[in-house]
Structure formats: structure tokens, C-alpha cells
Amino acid sequence: MTTRDIFIGGQWRQGGGALMQSHFPADGSLNATLHAASLEDLEQAVAAGDRAWRDPAWRDTLPHQRAAILHRVADLINARIETLAEMQSRDNGKPLAEARGLVASAASTARYFAAACELLEGELPTPRIPQVITLSGYEPLGVVAAITPWNSPIASEMQKIAPAIAAGNAAILKPAEATPLMALELAKLFEEAGLPAGLLSVLPGKGSVIGDALARHPKVRKISFTGGTSTGRHLAHVAAEKLIPASLELGGKSPTIVLEDANLEQAARGICYGIFSSAGQACIAGSRLFVHQSVYAPLMARLLELTRGLRVGHPFDAATHVGPLINEGHRQRVMEYVALAQREGGRVLCGGEIPPDPALADGSYFQPTIIDGLSNGARACQEEIFGPVLVAMPFEDEAGLIAQANDSVFGLAAGIWSRDSGRALRLASRLEVGTVWINTYKVFSISTPFGGFKESGLGREKGIQGLKAWMQQKSVYLATGSDVNHWSDNKKGVQ
Ligand code: ADP
């Protein structure tokens, strides 16, 4: 059987680790077989990265020269949107239309960080010492690790690799076990765009083996992770031991809130998209719905109508709204949560089952599901399901709403639907979350910082801050005259 090569220190070759496979979640067919990276491969990738980022040929590149590589990557992506989107769909089952959007966003991300690194400015702080000026600028960290999940590979991987490279680092990417293909394809694009060897390596394999060893490696100077909260907590411990920065984008259980003055049609559409796109496999999925009791009945009626109209189907079918879940194991987990919600007293208003369509029998599909009758303390309202499952709850007053919305270990995002934007903004300021959408949901801008409060994460990606997060600041004091440091001649006392 032919196996895919992996990318280590600028070389394509077979990984030295265990055999692993990528399957198409729509029908379980095999996409590719490859060998995971071994610990020896990791050593080589780190050594190559460490040489490459220190090499004057790279270290002395000017920002616009690094930007040119990122622009070429963006051009290559845009020229291959269809192929890349199909690859992404095959790797994780996303409907093609969504995958196209993610591919296009990856190109924009590369361009944004190309621009950001050209525009990044150091500081010339106002002088505080006679005859001394201070300068403060940004430098790369060195070899850095990017560990990514399976739900939106090309977008989440570019969100880490583009700023890491723009900042002048050498990046080592560890993609999720289920979705190794897009990360390898990205490496091809960076290579074709002229990125010098060693500055990007891709090490597929098990998180607990190669991901853990990558994070722990003494030469790795930053961990950027997107994934589950328990893995994030583990990586925070690793980073604490090494005293290196960790950027952690973790889980969520995001509330979407419909106030009594909302445009109900707009709200129902936004809520439907916010929870059921990507089959709910999104950290920012709006999975807890709070609706003012005075509009609960009409909002729910419209939301149920829209949800029943969603088409669950093959990712390559243009009419599909909801594709398969990533694999059978994950579908089982989602189904267990629906059963748990019922045991907790929840009523399934729609969905809750595997679709009966025989054409979908080989894929890990699950119907979009809405449950009510639960209180916010139920496990189905507190734990991340990461599937197409929405729990709806009526609320009476704003104080109770805020208490319930914030009663979660998570704090990733929230949605508010109201015609009164002043009131919505006041409410937004009371929610303990990193992103609030008002009268929209799950739309993203690469120029806007993203990250979580509480157990949803640490640090921010995107925006100028998302570039600085891959750099360290160095301050320089420069004497402009000789009338300084007179300590030894005892003339001016200690300075
Ligand atoms: P998800 O629930 O999204 O799969 P995980 O946290 O399990 O979230 O996985 C996200 C990424 O983290 C994957 O690339 C996975 O291989 C990696 N990972 C899992 N466990 C570890 C670990 N102990 N150390 C480093 N990386 C890990």
C-alpha cells in the first residue's frame, strides 16, 4: 500500500511512527494512509527549525520579504480553492460550501499577517533618563509549536502558521489525528511559495505521544493550541514547567440570547446557523439558547420550522446544510448526550436521531436536534457536546438571564438579539465571554482578536495582537552623550 510522506525539516519522507489513516466521514472510505512522526522525526524537525530560524539568510529577512512568501501562499490557495475545499471535506466531512469559505479565509489570513508584519511598529518611549533614549522592538521566539484540532483544519492551521512565520519563527505543526491531510498540503504550499527548508515541519500523530513530546521539547519556545479544555490544561502545565508562553483556544458552551424586542426572523436564522453549521462541531457553537418568555413560543416555532427544513446530506451535495460528524465514536458521544438530556428531563422537540435515509447509512450523520425542558444546571447545558444539539430555555428577567448565561465554566462567545443596540451593548458588557455577536452570530474577522474567558482559554489569536503573540519584546537603552553612569567617581550618586 502506498503511504503519504510527511514533512520534516524541509524533506518529504515516510514518518518513523505508527501507521495512521484518514477516512471520509461521509462514507468511511479511506482517504490516505501515512506513518505518524516518530520521536526521532521530532528531534530532526526541531533541530532543522532551530538552525533555520537562526540562519542569517532567514534571521535577517526584512518583514516585506517574509510578507512576499505569505502573499505567494495566498495566491496558490486562491488558485486551488476547489481542490483544497474538496480535500478539507474529505478529511473532516464539512459540506463543500463551508469548506470553500474556510479555504478562502486561510488565504485572507496569510495576507492579513503579511500586511501586519510589514506594519508592525516598535516603540520609542518618551525619555525618562538624561542623555539616554530607549527603543523597544519585537523579535521572534525561535522554534514554536502549533497543535490543532480536526474541525476546521485549514483555517485554524493558517491562523497559527501565518503569524508564526511572519514573525520570523520556525513552526512545527501537529495536526489532529483525524485530519492530517490539510496540514501536509499547507506545507507543500509554503514550500512552493519559497519558504526556506526547516522553517515549517508537519508532524502527524497521536496527541498524547508526538503532541506531548513536541510541547515538552526544551527547544520549543511557545505552544499554540486549539482543542479541548482538558488537553489545554495539560499543555498549560507543560508550558508552566518550561516557563514558555501558551496560547490556548479551548471549549465553549456559548449562550445566545433573544430579548423581547428582537427581530425574531433574524434571530431564528442566526441561531440556526450558529448551532447547526459544521454540524455543531465548533468551539463557538451557540449551544445554549435563552429566549425571553414573552417571545419564546413564536421564536421556537420559527426555529423549529427552519431546523426541520435543514438538509442533512453528503458534503459534496450542493443542497446539504449539515454534513456528517467526524466519526462514529464522536456520533456515539453526541447521542449519549441526547439520551442524558432526556434522563435529566429534557424533551426532544426535533431531531435526536440518526437520519433514516439509507443513502446516509455509511456516514456518521446525526439530525439537528433541539431540546427544551432543562434548566441551565443540567449536564447537557454545562458540558460541551460539540454536535448539532441546541438546548432552549425561556427566561423572565435580565438579572436571572445574566446569572444563568454566566453560570458556566466556559466563556468563549455569546449572541444577543435585540433591536435596542444600547441595551444589547450593556448586556454584552455583563457577559463573561471573549466574543459577543449582536444581531449576528459566528461571523469572523481576522483583524479582530479572538479567545476565551474562564476555561475557554488563555491569550488571543488574530489582530495585530495575534502577531505579537508570536514574538518577544526587546528594549534597548542607548546613551546619546557621555554624561552617564558616574557611580564610580561618586559625583552624582547612584542613578
Ligand atoms: P478535540 O476534542 O478537538 O479532539 P483534543 O484536545 O483532544 O481536542 O485535540 C486537539 C489537538 O491536541 C489534536 O491535535 C490532538 O492530537 C492534540 N493533543 C491531544 N492530547 C495531547 C497532549 N497530551 N499533548 C499535546 N497534544 C495533544
Reduce the secondary structure of the chain to three states and give it as a string.
CCCECEEECCEEECCCCCEEEEECCCCCCEEEEEECCCHHHHHHHHHHHHHHHHCHHHHCCCHHHHHHHHHHHHHHHHHCHHHHHHHHHHHHCCCHHHHHHHHHHHHHHHHHHHHHHHHCCCECCCCCCCCEEEEEEEEECCEEEEECCCCCHHHHHHHHHHHHHHCCCEEEEECCCCCCHHHHHHHHHHHHCCCCCCCEEECCCCHHHHHHHHHHCCCEEEEEEECCHHHHHHHHHHHHHHCCCEEEECCCCCEEEECCCCCHHHHHHHHHHHHHHHHHCCCCCCCEEEEEHHHHHHHHHHHHHHHHCCCECCCCCCCCCECCCCCHHHHHHHHHHHHHHHHCCCEEEECCCCCCCHHHCCCCCCCCEEEECCCCCCHHHHCCCCCCEEEEEEECCHHHHHHHHHCCCEECEEEEECCCHHHHHHHHHHCCCCEEEECCCCCCCCCCCECCEECCEECCECHHHHHHCCEEEEEEEEECCCCCCCHHHCCCCCC
What is the pLDDT, as a whole number, of residue 489?
84
Whole-number Å distance, alpha carbon 408 to ligand 1 midpoint, is: 22
- CATH superfamily name and code, 2-250+456-477: Aldehyde Dehydrogenase; Chain A, domain 1 (3.40.605.10)
What is the pLDDT, as a whole number, of residue 422?
98
Q: Could you give the maximum distance between any two Cα atoms of the chain, in Å?
A: 92
Give catalytic status of residue 350 as yes or no.
no
Q: Residue 492 — very low, low, confident or very high, per pLDDT cuts 50/70/90? A: low
Atom of ligand 1 nearest to the CA of 386: 2
Bridge pairing between strands 389-395 and 369-372: parallel
- Average pLDDT over all residues of the chain: 97
Does pLDDT of 448 surpass 60? Answer: yes
Domains of the chain, residue spans: 2-250+456-477, 255-438
Whole-number Å distance, alpha carbon 463 to ligand 1 midpoint, is: 25
Pocket test for ligand 1, best of 172, 202, 230, 231 (most atoms within 8 A of CB): 231
What is the pLDDT, as a whole number, of residue 488?
87
What is the pLDDT, as a whole number, of residue 485?
87
Q: What is the pLDDT of residues 278-312, one digit of tens each?
A: 999 999 999 999 999 999 999 999 999 999 999 99
492 vs 233, more confident: 233
Predicted TM-score (pTM) above 0.85: yes
Among 177, 249, 384, 455, which one carries the catalytic annotation?
249
Ligand 1 binding site (Cβ under 6 Å of any ligand atom): 147-149, 174, 176-177, 207-208, 211-212, 215, 227-228, 231, 234-235
Whole-number Å distance, alpha carbon 254 to ligand 1 midpoint, is: 21
Does pLDDT of 484 surpass 90? Answer: no
Among 94, 160, 174, 253, which one carries the catalytic annotation?
160
Q: What is the mean pLDDT of the segment spanning 203-215?
A: 98
Domain 255-438 has CATH 3.40.50.2000: no
Give catalytic status of residue 253 as yes or no.
no
Give catalytic status of residue 283 as yes or no.
yes
Q: What is the mean pLDDT of the segment spanning 115-128?
A: 96
User: How large a percentage of the chain has pLDDT more than 90?
Assistant: 97
Q: What is the mean pLDDT of the segment spanning 184-209?
A: 98
Q: Residue 491 — very low, low, confident or very high, per pLDDT cuts 50/70/90? A: low
Q: Residue 140 — very low, low, confident or very high, per pLDDT cuts 50/70/90? A: very high
